[in-house]
Amino acid sequence: MAKILAVDDSASMRQMVSFTLKGAGHDVVEASDGVEAYKIAQGTSVDLVLSDVNMPNMNGIELCAKLRTLATYKFTPILMLTTESTGDKKMAGKTAGATGWIVKPFNPDQLLTTIKKVLG
Amino acid sequence: MSVDLSQFHQVFYEESYEGLDAMEQGLLEMDVTAPDDEVINTIFRAAHSIKGGSGTFGFNQVANFTHVIETLLDEVRSGDRGLDQNTMDLLLESVDCMRGMLEELQAGGEPDMTTPDQLRAKFEAILSGESAGDAAGAGDGSAGGAGDGGAGDGADGGGEGGDGVGWLIEFIPEPQMLQTGNEATRMLRQLNEICEGKMAVTAHVDRVPGFHDLNPEHCYLYWHITVNFPLERTAIDEIFEWVVDDAEINISPLGQDVESAAAPSEAQEAQAPSETAQVVDIAQPQVEASAPAEAQAQAAPKKAPQESSSIRVDIDKVDNLINMVGELVITQSMLGELGENFDMAHVQRLQEGLAQLEHNTRELQESVMKIRMMPISFVFSRFPRLVRDTARKLDKQIELRMIGEHTELDKTVMEKLGDPMVHLIRNSMDHGIESPAERVANGKSETGLVELKAYHQSGNIVIEIEDDGAGLNTERILRKAKENGVVPQDANLSQEQIFDLIFQPGFSTADVVSDLSGRGVGMDVVRRNIAALNGSIEVFSEKDKGSRFVIRLPLTLAILDGQLVQVEDQIYIFPLVSIVESIQYKGSKLSNVGGHNDVLLLRDEYVPIVMLNQLFDIASQEKPLDDSIIVVVEADGEKVGVVVDELLGQQQVVIKSLEENYKKVDGISGATILGDGTVALIIDVSGMSKMSANHTPAQSKNVKPHKAA
Amino acid sequence: MSAAAQDTEQIEQPPQEGVATQQYLTFLMDEEEYGVDILAVQEIRGWESATLVPNSPTHMKGVLNLRGTIVPILDLRERFNLKTIEYTDVTVVVILKIETDKGSRTMGIIVDAISDVYDVPLDGIRTSGIADNQNAHFMKGLVTVNKNMVILLELNNLLTIDD
């Protein structure tokens, strides 16, 4: 039973991720871009952050870097949801401090399997 | 656990359509010579989202198609590629293409891939023609690709599965590994799981510094792991894939030498495509299963109607609504209390309370109506594209100006307004605006102007479509009308009457039926559609100066501005918008036609008279006709004078359905509940006209009325 | 409306336990007692004048406002081709709601006066003796309650709009 922050500008993705995670018994907080997510993070800590990369206002990479500056988020697992599986985007994520990534498109089961890696 | 993804489809479709609109708008706004970064990003994100979502939800054809576009846009946004007019045009076409595919999918059918495939080929040509960066890489690294880019057959020099024996793993994290949120214990635990506990781990502490130099946020431990289990090399790689750059990982089959750290990263690369290939397969069956059933059922899959059943509401409007309801509750409890032990001494408080109630109710009504209100920009936004494409087809230069896009109106009204407006704009462009040469010859600028205006006026929304073209050619219209027998040969019509002719069914002055308009099915449908919204349309025009169409619509469908009238002992309501004028019966110039119905001479027109009490079969109280009022109403361009006893007030009425528990009644469009709780029927002017025509011998404008003796 | 043939079955004691019953609201019209399924009864109102609807059948007396819904009101005497009477203070409108395949429909019927509520055993409803009645298609059957004969009405046929 973990608390997960799900960030994606696509409502359908947010809904799918939220539904899947809640179905597995987790608590989900949603945000539609980096700015919203950062604001939420300042107010509460979570066990895992799932974030899309391409978002308006503040993208996933920027969000990741900003979250790492918060004391409560220094070691929180942050996974990037990305379709860009080529090398340099992953590097950008790692440099910003991301824990790992999930490649889009993914189905609900893959999502659950991957977060298990991180939540145990 | 299996999640039914189809529950998210509707949201996906809606946001994708919005994304496509954003793409289209961005592309239209974009200046090819000086592209705006923000706009490019917006366009990229739209394509990216659609690709991601369509892949996730199993719409692989869309995903594959969108992938090419996303790749192209990615190059543009990173500055590796410039934009040219040709590419932009292709992108605009692809927006249409994607819309079409989504609509077909939404309707439950399979998208027709002919156009998408053609477009995709063109994009691929562009990408490979002057490939900036590795186009090959772009193709392989995608989920949509055949997924055979170096399918993980195992890394070179690695061998597979340790030949059924096991592995020796050296896991040496760099100190800062923890700062990415990664934890060694997780990885070890995972490893333990997949090898079913058959492993031995040795933790090495020799890197741990003295207490004073110890940084609690660093990782000093490292591990040597012996796995005594036939694992696939890829399984191990997967566990450590995230920390490949933050740790030294040496994996060797038991019994072999330790490998260099270089190999794992290659395995990494090879592994990624196979992972994605797997994803494609999983997603595939979903689409296949659902598609055939639907495809069978529909011979020609219809385009899913664009009307969505949800609405986006500003949170302020919702807050406002909540406040209104709160106040209503307070008023209600106050009145309730008064009613508990009421005595006449409190009558003033009661009246105040009731006045407060009226105020609350009105505010609540307005508040709720506002929720359904959306800015007209939603329908205006289609037009820049329409004008651009149409102007091109017609070889004309036309500028579109839009004013008042923020003007709000009811969502349903707006959705039904789209088609009539498209027709009117096309009309203006086709018949109104002249060719550049003609314009110059007439001393006008080369570029014609079509202006759309929207504004509120006394409880209605007014939309104007104006062009500075040739104006309506009254001679041609009259001639065509006489040719088609719509008016008699010797008819002498006023300019207004001639303008009105264009709304007749089947009417068109176009000599050649053009692709766009000119089939003559348009204008009468336009007027009918607007009438169905309880609205009206007028046309003004001046030769060589231009034409202007003015549409008036009520702000909402459920509420009507009505004129109450008394007929015998019954009260009826006329939609205010249908009333031309009201005159006294006495002193009106009435004549008999064929001994039956009267006809009223109203300035230059002959207007048939309808006795409402006769038409509706109401018991007559035999009042003298002289005291009656004639309400002249208009429907379908025809005027009718309705005789009523008295004009009562005007008020806004809520339209209630008669058909819900009864049936559709000729001449009646609905009912409402008056302040005293009684029911009053709302007259369907058009229906009533028809009833009247059938009720009595046919009236014809052509017959010359002769005065009764 | 001819009375049914003499019947020998008279239910004097209340129905036995275990026998399926249905409750009927009964009303009077022209000295006959009629019953409608009580579950269909929404409310009972006194008669107030309704708004006429143009060109409707004579038994359609108009529409009433029922808390915001427009409800048509039928005169049952006219529907049954009985002689009509003046509406009095005890004239009553029974508002009925039925489910059809097109959804639910609410209509009112004007009757002389309300009578009673009975528990009618389902096996006590007889259909013989009504077939030759001109209004047979409005009737579900006959039942005898406390020596009185009650004509049970078939609402789906009664509350139609076409004549």
- Is B79 a member of any domain? yes
Residues B275 and B191 in one domain: yes
Does the beta carbon of B679 lie under 8 angstroms from any beta carbon of chain C? yes
Q: Select from B48, B242, B282 the Cβ nearest to the Cβ of A83.
A: B48
* pLDDT recorded at residue A38: 94
* pLDDT recorded at residue A86: 54
Give the pLDDT confidence of B183-200 residue by residue, as tens digits: 888 889 888 888 888 889
Average the pLDDT over B636-664 and give the result.
85
Q: Select from C51, C106, C161 the Cβ nearest to the Cβ of B570.
A: C51
Does the beta carbon of B676 lie under 8 angstroms from any beta carbon of chain C? no
* pLDDT recorded at residue B262: 40
* pLDDT recorded at residue B510: 56
A13:B56 CB<8 A: yes
Confidence of residue B341 (pLDDT cuts 50, 70, 90): confident
Does the beta carbon of A113 lie under 8 angstroms from any beta carbon of chain B? no
Q: Select from B3, B8, B45 the Cβ nearest to the Cβ of A12.
A: B8
Q: Would you say residue C22 has pLDDT above 60? A: yes
B182 is catalytic: no
- Is B362 a member of any domain? yes
The most confident of A73-77, B157-161, B211-215, by mean pLDDT: A73-77
Q: Please report how the helices A60-67 and A34-43 are oriented relative to each other, as an axis angle in degrees rounded to 10.
A: 20
Average the pLDDT over B46-58 and give the result.
87
Q: Contact B372/B411 with Cβ under 8 angstroms?
A: yes
Give the pLDDT confidence of B350-371 residue by residue, as tens digits: 888 888 898 888 888 878 877 8
Residues B403 and B502 in one domain: yes
Confidence of residue B594 (pLDDT cuts 50, 70, 90): low
* pLDDT recorded at residue C12: 47
Chain B, nearest residue to C97 by Cα: B661
- Is B707 a member of any domain? no
Chain A, nearest residue to B187 by Cα: A117
* pLDDT recorded at residue B130: 53
More reliable by pLDDT, B526 or B261: B526
Selecting from 2.40.50.180, 1.10.1060.10, 3.30.1490.270, 3.10.450.40, what CATH number does the domain C22-158 have?
A: 2.40.50.180
Residues B221 and B279 in one domain: yes
Asked, as a colleague might, if the bond just before A105 is cis with ω within 30 of 0, I would say yes
Confidence of residue C15 (pLDDT cuts 50, 70, 90): low
Residues B497 and B531 in one domain: yes
Residue type, B661: N
Confidence of residue A51 (pLDDT cuts 50, 70, 90): very high
Percent of chain B residues past pLDDT 70, beyond the cut: 81
* pLDDT recorded at residue B207: 87
CATH number for the domain that contains residue B33: 1.20.120.160
- Is B121 a member of any domain? no
User: In 3-state terms, what secondary structure has residue B704?
Assistant: coil
* pLDDT recorded at residue A27: 92
Residues B383 and B365 in one domain: no
Distance CA A17, CA B503 (A): 53
Confidence of residue B402 (pLDDT cuts 50, 70, 90): very high
* pLDDT recorded at residue A88: 64
User: Which positions ≥6 away from A3 have C-beta within 8 Å?
Assistant: A26, A27, A28, A29, A44, A45, A46, A47, A48
Lowest-confidence region among B146-150, B482-486, B555-559, C68-72? B146-150
* pLDDT recorded at residue A106: 83
CATH number for the domain that contains residue B596: 2.30.30.40
Q: Report the residue of B1, B37, B178, B242 to disrupt the A interface, i.e. the one with the largest count of A CBs within 10 Å.
A: B242
- C-alpha dihedral sign at B65, B68, B71, B72: negative
Chain C residues lying within 8 Å of B610, measured CB to CB:
none
Residues B479 and B565 in one domain: no
* pLDDT recorded at residue B508: 61
Average the pLDDT over B557-579 and give the result.
88
Average the pLDDT over B594-612 and give the result.
78
C54:B617 CB<8 A: yes
C54:B662 CB<8 A: no
Give the pLDDT confidence of A2-23 residue by residue, as tens digits: 899 999 988 888 989 999 999 8
- Is B682 a member of any domain? yes
Does the beta carbon of C63 lie under 8 angstroms from any beta carbon of chain B? yes
Name the strand (E) or helix (H) holding A63: helix A60-67
Residue type, B273: P
* pLDDT recorded at residue B164: 61
Q: Would you say residue B296 has pLDDT above 50? A: no
Confidence of residue A87 (pLDDT cuts 50, 70, 90): low
Confidence of residue C97 (pLDDT cuts 50, 70, 90): very high
Question: Nearest 5°: phi and psi at B521?
Answer: -100, 0
Chain B residues lying within 8 Å of A9, measured CB to CB:
45, 49
* pLDDT recorded at residue B144: 35
Confidence of residue B401 (pLDDT cuts 50, 70, 90): very high
* pLDDT recorded at residue B132: 44
Chain B residues lying within 8 Å of C61, measured CB to CB:
none
Which of B60, B360, B427, B613 does the annotation list as catalytic?
B427
Q: Would you say residue A101 has pLDDT above 70? A: yes
Interface contacts B/C by beta carbons within 8 Å: 65
B48 is catalytic: yes
Query: What range defines the domain where residue B324 resides?
Result: 315-371
Q: Which subunits sit against A, judged by 3+ Cβ pairs under 8 A? A: B
Distance CA B577, CA B562 (A): 8
Give the pLDDT confidence of B480-505 residue by residue, as tens digits: 888 877 777 777 777 877 888 888 77
* pLDDT recorded at residue C36: 93
Average the pLDDT over A44-61 and give the result.
91
Residues B200 and B280 in one domain: yes
Give the pLDDT confidence of B209-251 residue by residue, as tens digits: 888 888 888 889 999 999 888 888 888 888 888 888 888 888 8
* pLDDT recorded at residue B430: 86
- Is B480 a member of any domain? yes
Which of B48, B67, B423, B431 does the annotation list as catalytic?
B48
Average the pLDDT over B386-402 and give the result.
89
* pLDDT recorded at residue B590: 76
**What does DSSP say about strands C32-37 and C148-153: parallel, antiparallel, or unpaired?**
parallel
Confidence of residue B521 (pLDDT cuts 50, 70, 90): low
Distance CA B464, CA B424 (A): 10
Q: Select from B661, B663, B679 the Cβ nearest to the Cβ of C51.
A: B679
Which of B24, B70, B103, B408 does the annotation list as catalytic?
B70
Q: Where do the domains of chain C lie?
A: 22-158
Closest CA to B251 of A110, B407, B265: B265
Written as one string, the DSSP assignment of B662-702 is S---TTEEEEEE-TTS-EEEEE-HHHHHHHHHHHSSPP-TT
3 state SS for B395-463 = CCCEEEEEECCCCEEEHHHHHHHHHHHHHHHHHHHHHHCCCHHHHHHCCCCCCEEEEEEEEEECCEEEE
Average the pLDDT over B390-409 and give the result.
89
Confidence of residue C106 (pLDDT cuts 50, 70, 90): very high
Distance CA B97, CA B86 (A): 16
Chain B residues lying within 8 Å of A63, measured CB to CB:
none
Residues B605 and B622 in one domain: yes
Residues B594 and B503 in one domain: no
Distance CA C95, CA B535 (A): 36
What ipTM was reported for this prediction? Answer: 0.85
Does the beta carbon of C22 lie under 8 angstroms from any beta carbon of chain B? no
- Is B151 a member of any domain? yes
Q: Select from A54, A78, A104 the Cβ nearest to the Cβ of B181.
A: A78
Q: Chain C, 74-133: which have a CB under 8 Å from a chain B CB?
A: 105-107
Q: Chain A, 14-43: which have a CB under 8 Å from a chain B CB?
A: 15-16, 19-20, 23-24
User: In 3-state terms, what secondary structure has residue B301?
Assistant: coil
User: Which positions ≥6 away from B658 have C-beta within 8 Å?
Assistant: B664, B665, B668, B670, B671, B681, C53, C63, C70
Residues B211 and B339 in one domain: no
Average the pLDDT over B680-684 and give the result.
92
* pLDDT recorded at residue A67: 93
B671:C63 CB<8 A: yes
Q: State the total domains in chain B.
A: 5
Confidence of residue C17 (pLDDT cuts 50, 70, 90): low
Average the pLDDT over A42-68 and give the result.
91
A100:B242 CB<8 A: yes
Q: Report the residue of B614, B615, B663, B679 to disrupt the C interface, i.e. the one with the largest count of C CBs within 10 Å.
A: B679
Mean pLDDT of all residues in chain B?
A: 78
* Exposure b/e, C87-108, CB count within 10 A at least 16 = b: beeebbbbbbbbeeeeeebbbb
Q: Would you say residue C61 has pLDDT above 60? A: yes
Q: Look up tokens 């990173």; give the residue.
A: B78
Average the pLDDT over B56-70 and give the result.
87
* pLDDT recorded at residue B483: 80
Average the pLDDT over B99-124 and give the result.
87
Average the pLDDT over B294-308 and give the result.
40
- Is B309 a member of any domain? no
Average the pLDDT over C66-74 and give the result.
88
Interface contacts A/B by beta carbons within 8 Å: 131
Examine the fold and report which residue of B354, B371, B388 is the final residue of a domain before the chain moves on: B371
Residue B220, CA atoms < 13 Å, CB-side half-sphere: 12
CA distance C71 to chain B (A): 6
Residue type, B65: F
